[in-house]
């Protein structure tokens, strides 16, 4: 059992700044007071302990207040991706069956009980008894997986999952009195949501920034004494490219998620003295579960690191754990790993075996136990008997300074079974130049048979590449 995080934090350090957003500063005591009032208003909507309430909001102070208020009343928070289509939103609502939806505005074509935040804020309210303690095994949040290969699944994350994720991160990165985290990831995504937990558990200030232009983010790091931020590779690449000088001396960590980064980018970070650390995690692990420790940032460049304390990682193949430097499926366990998928008993049994979560990702561990992530198991394909990982080809393509984005898939071939094809975003590259570049970097069987230039690649809200859409494009082009 844990004390209510925000209420306890407001008691411990009431006057410390909790959040800075749009140059507005909110202390932990002020945040607690706003959350308390919001909890009373949400309670007037007849929410009971354990009820599911959906939240469809963009990053804002109001969204943060709503997320904490739902904890105060003991509701389960279903966080919805605001970039979903009407059909996807409707599917998730009917799958999770929340009692109602709180949103920034009424979603006109969604036939579900809705309360826009302005209406909730104007409700009459009475004093209530809040949830004073959080039970670690109680479900706190439902987050749907990105659904890159089909219908998403609702990941049930408990209070214990969130708490141990925050503690594990602090044990790896350390916790400094002046730490200040730049929050630029969406709070409906587990990486963004985890910052709200760290915020109140650590007593650490976060600066919320909704303008994601690389020059703006770099300036915020300079101006706001930021010490840590979390970004996906695409954003990190743009930030480092735009960086004219160096980050302030107190900026100690850029956590990089969303898949393995090209070595050329990581080397550029070393040259520009950008302290970037690769991480590995997913919704099912309540954010990162493997992170490269600071002292290994250069020595083990390219690795995601070792499992956070007290988590564990192993590599499995055909039901057996493999040795070092052997490829297989990444399997993890720890107190931050979900208990299961909502209303998906079979999927839960398939993915969690003897307390170990089978991630579906491929990788290997080196002689010292450092994890190297290769690709999604579903994305790997075989060409002429050789395993091909699209992520490896993409990383090579992205290492070219004139290629802005790249996506690779395997397509059917009458001789080799499957061969790679690439979709590339580039302003001035010619196909011939790309092939010349790749011939120096890749084995011949890994070089894409076709290259298509596109204006933009299909990515979801967490910037993950939607390969199924690329497959649809290929079907139309061939």
Identify each DSSP E strand in 24-153 by its residue range: 24-27, 52-56, 76-79, 100-103, 114-116, 133-134, 139-144
pLDDT value at 140 more than 90: yes
DSSP state for residue 261 in the 8-state scheme: P
**pLDDT grade for 80, boundaries at 50, 70 and 90:** very high
Give me the chain's average pLDDT, please. Answer: 92
How far is CA 359 from its chain centroid? 15
Q: What would you report as the CA-atom Rg of the chain, rounded to the nearest whole angstrom? A: 23
Q: Which domains does the chain have, with CATH numbers?
A: 2-134 (3.40.50.980), 161-376 (3.40.50.12780), 381-477 (3.30.300.30)
User: Residues 338, 339, 343, 345: is their CA dihedral positive or negative?
Assistant: positive
pLDDT above 90 for 74: yes
Q: What are the φ/ψ torsions at residue 113 (nearest 5 degrees)?
A: -65, 120
Report the relative pairing of strands 328-333 and 312-317 from DSSP bridges.
antiparallel
Q: What is the DSSP letter of 295?
A: G
Side-chain-facing half-sphere of 178: CA atoms under 13 Å: 8
Give me the pLDDT at residue 86, please.
Answer: 84
> In 10 A of CB 476, how many CB atoms?
6
Give CA separation, 67 vs 196, 256, 309, in Å: 9, 25, 27
pLDDT above 50 for 148: no
Sorting pLDDT into bands at 50, 70 and 90, what band is 146?
Answer: low
pTM recorded for the entire structure: 0.85
Q: Rounded to an integer, what is the distance from CA 246 to the centroid of its chain?
A: 26
- Band of residue 310 on the pLDDT scale cut at 50, 70, 90: very high
Whole-angstrom distance, CA of residue 352 vs CA of residue 349: 5
Question: What's the pLDDT tens digit per position in 335-350?
Answer: 999 999 999 999 999 9
Position 303 pLDDT exceeds 80: yes
pLDDT of amino acid 150: 55
Lookup: tokens for 154 = 């609702």
Whether residue 267 has pLDDT greater than 90: no
Residue 15: its pLDDT value, please? 98
pLDDT band of residue 477 (cuts 50, 70, 90) is confident
Share of the chain above pLDDT 90, in %: 72
Highest mean pLDDT among 272-281, 289-298, 322-331 belongs to: 322-331
Does the pLDDT at position 147 exceed 80? no
Q: What is the model's pLDDT at position 258?
A: 67
**E strand or H helix that includes residue 336:** none
Between 385 and 409, residue with greater pLDDT: 409
- Helix (H) or strand (E) holding 222, with range, is helix 214-223
Task: Give the model's pLDDT for residue 302.
Answer: 84
Q: For 14-71, write each residue's pLDDT tens digit.
A: 999 999 999 899 999 999 999 999 999 999 999 999 999 999 999 999 999 999 999 9
3-state secondary structure of 421: strand
pLDDT for residue 172 is more than 50 = yes
Question: Which position has the token pair 């898949």?
Answer: 259
Would you state the pLDDT for residue 120? 96
What confidence score (pLDDT) does residue 18 get? Answer: 98
* Count of C-beta atoms within a 10 Å radius of residue 346: 8
Q: What is the pLDDT of residues 208-265, one digit of tens each?
A: 999 989 999 999 999 999 999 999 887 898 899 999 889 999 999 999 886 667 778 8
Q: Where are the alpha helices (DSSP H) in 224-286?
A: 233-242, 263-271
Range name among 168-172, 221-225, 383-387, 466-470 with the lowest pLDDT average: 383-387
- As a whole number, mean pLDDT of residues 185-190 equals 93
Read off the DSSP letter of residue 38. Answer: H
């Amino acid at each position: 059992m844990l004390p209510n995080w925000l209420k306890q934090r407001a008691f411990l350090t009431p006057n410390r700044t909790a959040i800075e957003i749009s140059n507005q500063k909110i202390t932990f005591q002020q945040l607690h007071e706003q959350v308390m009032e919001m909890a009373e208003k949400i309670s007037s909507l007849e929410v009971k302990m354990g009820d599911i309430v959906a939240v469809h909001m963009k990053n804002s102070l109001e969204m943060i207040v709503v997320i904490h208020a739902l904890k105060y009343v003991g509701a389960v928070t279903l966080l919805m991706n605001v970039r979903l289509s009407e059909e996807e939103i409707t599917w998730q609502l009917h799958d999770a069956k929340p009692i109602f939806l709180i949103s920034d505005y009424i979603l006109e074509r969604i036939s579900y009980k809705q309360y826009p935040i302005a209406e909730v804020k104007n409700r009459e309210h009475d004093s209530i008894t809040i949830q004073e303690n959080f039970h670690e095994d109680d479900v706190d949040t439902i987050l749907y997986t990105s659904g890159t290969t089909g219908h998403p699944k609702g990941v049930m994350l408990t209070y214990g999952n969130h708490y141990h994720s925050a503690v594990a991160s602090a044990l790896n990165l350390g916790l400094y009195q002046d730490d200040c985290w730049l929050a630029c990831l969406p709070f409906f995504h587990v990486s963004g949501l985890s910052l709200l937990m760290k915020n109140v558990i650590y007593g650490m200030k976060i600066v919320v920034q909704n303008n994601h232009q690389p020059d703006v983010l770099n300036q915020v790091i300079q101006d706001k004494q930021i010490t840590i931020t979390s970004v996906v590779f695409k954003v990190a690449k743009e930030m480092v490219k735009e960086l004219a000088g160096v980050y302030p001396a107190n900026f100690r960590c850029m956590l990089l998620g969303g898949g393995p980064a090209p070595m050329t980018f990581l080397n550029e970070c070393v040259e520009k003295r950008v302290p970037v650390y690769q991480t590995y995690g997913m919704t099912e692990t309540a954010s990162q579960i493997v992170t490269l420790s600071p002292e290994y940032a250069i020595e083990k460049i390219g690795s995601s690191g070792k499992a956070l304390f007290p988590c564990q990682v192993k590599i499995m193949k055909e039901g057996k754990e493999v040795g070092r430097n052997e490829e297989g499926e990444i399997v993890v366990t720890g107190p931050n790993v979900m208990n299961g998928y909502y209303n998906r008993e079979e999927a839960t049994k398939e993915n969690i075996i003897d307390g170990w979560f089978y991630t579906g990702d491929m990788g290997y561990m080196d002689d010292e136990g450092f994890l190297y992530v290769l690709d999604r198991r579903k994305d790997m394909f075989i060409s002429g008997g050789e395993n091909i990982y699209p992520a490896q080809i993409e990383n090579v393509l992205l290492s070219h300074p004139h290629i802005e984005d790249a996506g690779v898939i395997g397509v059917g071939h009458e001789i080799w079974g499957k061969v790679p094809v690439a979709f590339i975003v580039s302003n001035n590259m010619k196909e011939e130049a790309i092939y010349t570049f790749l011939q120096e970097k890749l084995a011949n069987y890994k070089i894409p048979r076709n290259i298509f230039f596109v204006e933009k690649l299909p990515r979801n809200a967490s910037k993950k590449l939607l390969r199924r859409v690329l497959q649809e494009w290929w079907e139309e082009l061939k």
